[in-house]
Amino acid sequence: MNQVAIEGHIRYFQSLLPAWAERRVLFADGRRGTRSVQFLDGDRTRYRAPRLPRIDGATTRPGFDAIWRRFVHARPADPLLLYFAGHGSPDPGHDLDNNVFDLWGGGALSVRDLAARMKELPASTPVVLVMAQCYSGSFANLLFEGGRPDGELVERDIVGFFAATRDRPASGCTPEIDEADYTDFSSFFFAALSGVDRLGKRVDGADYDRNQLVGMNEAFAYALLHQETGDVPVATSDVFLRRFVNKPDHETMATPYSRVLSWSTPAERAALEGLSDALGLHGEHRLRAAYEREFGPRAGRRDVEDVDSAHRLRFIRLAKSVVLARTLRQSGHRARIERFERLRAAEARNPLVEVRAASQARQDGRRRAAR
């Protein structure tokens, strides 16, 4: 089940990094000669060897541990970006707060496994997570000690963007070879963040606040708006708000739409307006209308691949996050508000731009040294 799209995601992401940027790639069994990549040849499923610029090891527990000790842990002062582009599964023990990233050969890396490894890093090491696998939303619990949703907040600056809520699958693991047809979350996220899609075409329209920089929060909003799949993506700030702000849904969904827009960031406003238009929502009570359509007595059972349902869920979740953020800021809980604002500021950064700036600084330094 190692579909060619997964290989394509890794290749695309590597193309966005400058050549000097240090990285390690774990893929399948770590061997270039193994026919480990599944693809469609007409109507037949076939396998071929991987075609990646680099492979540094196997996506196994020993492979992951070796990379962590020899590469990640050895660079404690460097920012760390972790991109997971494979498969994910619900926790075997039915604890959806501890779902797993599937490893090669049947192993798994759980939320709490990754939390334990991240605890080895200095608290000053910032971490960005982008996870494209099914049921990935539970990894937002890395905000909390031990990866447990009832744990204390970690001091580390950690932000994450996930293709799906903890209880839903995600798209992006197709054996189709035409990358023009790939519509997964991370493709839209990285296209907005970098300004170049996986086919090399320029991507505009994600700089919602017009500050000449697309932040991860804007890339997330771009994906929410443009991804035509059943995915319902999650950000760490969503999980933070649901942990610390207790506001019943019936109160949240009664909020007039004009107020929600007035409390929104430019990126949130663009996503809300675009999703609202796509869903044909109108008037001040559109939050309640969307909620009743999705969860009311006449809703019925929804298919996880239903795009309209996914759009409603994205609209509902985003509107709820806006209302909860407003409620938190009015709560007077200074320490919690400051921590939330720090999280939101970290989500607004662009690690790709920062890497390019560091690359330019290194090149300038070498030129000066050569003189």
pLDDT averaged over every residue in the chain? 94
Give per-residue pLDDT as tens, 13-70.
999 998 888 999 999 999 999 999 999 999 999 999 999 999 999 999 999 999 999 9
pLDDT band at 360 (very low <50, low <70, confident <90, very high): low
Question: pTM of the prediction?
Answer: 0.95
pLDDT band at 363 (very low <50, low <70, confident <90, very high): low
Class of domain 4-245+331-370 (CATH, top level)? alpha beta
Q: With 70 as the cut, is the pLDDT of residue 339 above it?
A: yes
**Percent of the chain's residues with pLDDT above 90:** 88
Domains in the chain: boundaries? 4-245+331-370
Give per-residue pLDDT as tens, 120-129.
998 889 999 9
Give per-residue pLDDT as tens, 129-138.
999 999 999 9
pLDDT band at 361 (very low <50, low <70, confident <90, very high): low
What are the structure tokens assigned to 309, written together? 């349902």
